C-alpha cells in the first residue's frame, strides 16, 4: 500500500495482443474519469513510454471499441526498456504529464517490466493479465484466452468434418509456447484423441500404439491437438515421427497460428476485461501497488506482481485420464 494519492493514471497494452484488451482499456478510462482522475493512453507499450507517445483520453475516446479485437493502444516490444537509461527516460516522460499511477495490460514479460519500473521509481503499477495463453498464476482466466480457445474450437470442428470424410488423422498445432491451456481446452472440447502440451510428458510410443489399436477397430478418423511448445517441437515434429511409425496412414497437419489472436472478443472476455479494468482503477485509488488484478472463483483476487511472474498455473493429471477415457 502507498499513501500517495493518485490523480493521473496511464494505461498501456504490452506484449502479444489479446482479444478483450480494448474492453479493459475502455473500463480503465471510463472508471478513472468517473472518479475524477485524468487518464492517459501510453501508445505502443513501453516503447511509446520511452518515446513520449502519450495521449490524454476522454470518455468518447473509448467509444465503440469493446467489440474490437487487437488493441487501439497498439503494442510493441521494447529492448530499450530493459536498460536503466530507457526506464529513466520513460519515467521522465510520465512525470512530464503528471502521471502518478500506471495500469499495464499484458503477460509475464510486461509484468516484469512494470515491477522493475515501479521498484526504481515512485509510480505504483497495477497489472491486468492480458494473454491468450492463460499462463499467469493468480486468476482463473486471462483476458483473451476464452476467445482464442473458441477460435481454435471453431477451426478444429471444421477440420473434423474433412477428417471424417476422408478417414484421416489430422494433427492440429495451436498456440502455446510455454503453456498448453489452449490445446488442452480445445482438445477436450472437440473430442481429440490425444492432446500434447509442454506441461505433460507425452509417451509418443503410447500414442502410436493407441492409433494402431484404433486402426484395428476401423477407427481411422483421429484428431491430435498439439501446443506449439510441446516437447517434440510442435506439430511438424510430431507429424514427422508418426509418419515414420505409421507409413500407410493418411496424415495431415494444420497449424492454426495467429488466427487465434484476432477476432471480436467473446462475451466472457468482454466481461472479464471490464471487471478487471474497473477494479484496477480502484486499486490505484486505494493505494495498492505492484499487484495483478485477477478473478478466482468469480471473486476479485490480488496477487503481488513478483509472484504472478514467477508462478505458473498447474495442470492436474486428471485431465489426461479423462481425455484417454473419453477418446476410447
* pLDDT tens readout for residues 72-129: 999 998 999 999 999 999 999 999 999 999 999 999 899 999 999 999 998 999 999 9
Please identify which of the residues 3, 53, 122, 133 carries the catalytic annotation: 133
Give 172-196 pLDDT, tens digit per residue. Answer: 999 988 889 999 999 999 999 999 9
Does residue 168 have a known ligand-binding role?
yes
Number of H helices, E strands in the chain: 11, 11
pLDDT band at 286 (very low <50, low <70, confident <90, very high): very high
What does DSSP say about strands 101-106 and 125-129: parallel, antiparallel, or unpaired?
A: parallel
Lowest model confidence (mean pLDDT) among 82-96, 99-113, 237-251, 286-300: 237-251
Question: Among candidates 38, 40, 48, 39, which has minimal Cα distance to 14?
Answer: 48
Tell me, what's the pLDDT at 3? 63
Question: Among candidates 37, 39, 42, which has minimal Cα distance to 12?
Answer: 42
Question: Among candidates 97, 221, 70, which has minimal Cα distance to 159?
Answer: 221
Tell me, what's the pLDDT at 311? 67
pLDDT at residue 232 greater than cutoff 90: no
Does residue 262 have a known ligand-binding role?
no
| Residue showing cell 474450437 | 153
Annotate 153-203 with DSSP letters as a single string: HHHHHHHHHHHHHHT-EEEEEES-SS--HHHHHHHHHTT-SEEE-TTS---
Tell me, what's the pLDDT at 61? 98
Calculate mean pLDDT across residues 193-219: 85
pLDDT band at 1 (very low <50, low <70, confident <90, very high): low
Does residue 27 have a known ligand-binding role?
yes
pLDDT band at 2 (very low <50, low <70, confident <90, very high): low
Does residue 275 have a known ligand-binding role?
no
Mean pLDDT, the chain, whole residue set: 93
Distance of alpha carbon 11 from alpha carbon 9, whole angstroms: 7
Give 20-49 pLDDT, tens digit per residue. Answer: 999 999 999 999 999 999 999 999 999 999
The alpha-carbon radius of gyration of the chain (Å, integer) is 22
Q: What H or E segment, with its residue span, contains residue 57? A: strand 54-57
Does residue 258 have a known ligand-binding role?
yes
Asked about 133 being catalytic, the answer comes back as: yes
Does residue 298 have a known ligand-binding role?
no
Does residue 220 have a known ligand-binding role?
yes
Calculate mean pLDDT across residues 238-265: 92
Backbone angles phi, psi at 296, to 5 degrees: -125, 125
The three cell numbers locating residue 35: 472518479
How far apart, in Å, are the Cα atoms of 268 and each of 37, 89, 101, 143?
Answer: 28, 38, 27, 9
Does residue 214 have a known ligand-binding role?
no
Between these two residues, 115 and 1, which has the higher pLDDT value? 115
How far apart, in Å, are the Cα atoms of 66 and each of 16, 70, 150, 318?
Answer: 18, 11, 18, 36
Q: What H or E segment, with its residue span, contains residue 39? A: strand 38-42
How far apart, in Å, are the Cα atoms of 256 and each of 32, 152, 259?
Answer: 38, 7, 6
Q: Please, are residues 93 and 50 in contact by the beta-carbon 8 Å criterion?
A: yes
Does residue 240 have a known ligand-binding role?
no
Does residue 28 have a known ligand-binding role?
yes
The three cell numbers locating residue 110: 510486461
Residue 49 buriedness (CB in 10 A; 0-12 / 13-18 / 19+)? buried
pLDDT at residue 250 greater than cutoff 80: yes
Contacts (Cβ under 8 Å, ≥6 apart) of 189: 149, 153
Does residue 25 have a known ligand-binding role?
no
What domains sit in the chain, N to C, each tagged with a CATH number?
8-144+265-308 (3.40.50.450), 145-261 (3.40.50.460)
Question: Among candidates 203, 163, 170, which has minimal Cα distance to 320?
Answer: 203
Between these two residues, 313 and 262, which has the higher pLDDT value? 262
Distance of alpha carbon 15 from alpha carbon 46, whole angstroms: 9
Amino acid at each position: 500500500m502507498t499513501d500517495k494519492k493518485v490523480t493521473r493514471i496511464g494505461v498501456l497494452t504490452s506484449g502479444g495482443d489479446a482479444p478483450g484488451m480494448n474492453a479493459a482499456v475502455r473500463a480503465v478510462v471510463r472508471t478513472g474519469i468517473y472518479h475524477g482522475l485524468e487518464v492517459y493512453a501510453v501508445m505502443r507499450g513501453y516503447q511509446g513510454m520511452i518515446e513520449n507517445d502519450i495521449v490524454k483520453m476522454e470518455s468518447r475516446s473509448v467509444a465503440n471499441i469493446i467489440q474490437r479485437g487487437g488493441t487501439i493502444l497498439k503494442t510493441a516490444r521494447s529492448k530499450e526498456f530493459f536498460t536503466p537509461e530507457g526506464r529513466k527516460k520513460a519515467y521522465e516522460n510520465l512525470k512530464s504529464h503528471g502521471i502518478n499511477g500506471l495500469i499495464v495490460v499484458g503477460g509475464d514479460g510486461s509484468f516484469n517490466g512494470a515491477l522493475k519500473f515501479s521498484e526504481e521509481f515512485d509510480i505504483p503499477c497495477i497489472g491486468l493479465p492480458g494473454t491468450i495463453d492463460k499462463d499467469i498464476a493468480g486468476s482463473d482466466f486471462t483476458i483473451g484466452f476464452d476467445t482464442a480457445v473458441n477460435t481454435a474450437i471453431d477451426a478444429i470442428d471444421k477440420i473434423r468434418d474433412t477428417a471424417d470424410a476422408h478417414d484421416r488423422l489430422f494433427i492440429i498445432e495451436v498456440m502455446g509456447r510455454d503453456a498448453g491451456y489452449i490445446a488442452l481446452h480445445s482438445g477436450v472440447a472437440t473430442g481429440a484423441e490425444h492432446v500434447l502440451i509442454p506441461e505433460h510428458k507425452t509417451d509418443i510410443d503410447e500414442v502410436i500404439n493407441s492409433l494402431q489399436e484404433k486402426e484395428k477397430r476401423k477407427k481411422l478418423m483421429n484428431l491430435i491437438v498439439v501446443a506449439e511448445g510441446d516437447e517434440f517441437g510442435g506439430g511438424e515434429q510430431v507429424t514427422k515421427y508418426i509418419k515414420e511409425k505409421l507409413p500407410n496412414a493418411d496424415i495431415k497437419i494444420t497449424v492454426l497460428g495467429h488466427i487465434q489472436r484476432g477476432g471480436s472478443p467473446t462475451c466472457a472476455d468482454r466481461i472479464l476485461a471490464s471487471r478487471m479494468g474497473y477494479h484496477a482503477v480502484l486499486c490505484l485509488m486505494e493505494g495498492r501497488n505492484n499487484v495483478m488484478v485477477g478473478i478466482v472463483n468469480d471473486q476479485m483476487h490480488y496477487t503481488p506482481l513478483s509472484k504472478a511472474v514467477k508462478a505458473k498455473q498447474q495442470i492436474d493429471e486428471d485431465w489426461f485420464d479423462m481425455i484417454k477415457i473419453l477418446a476410447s
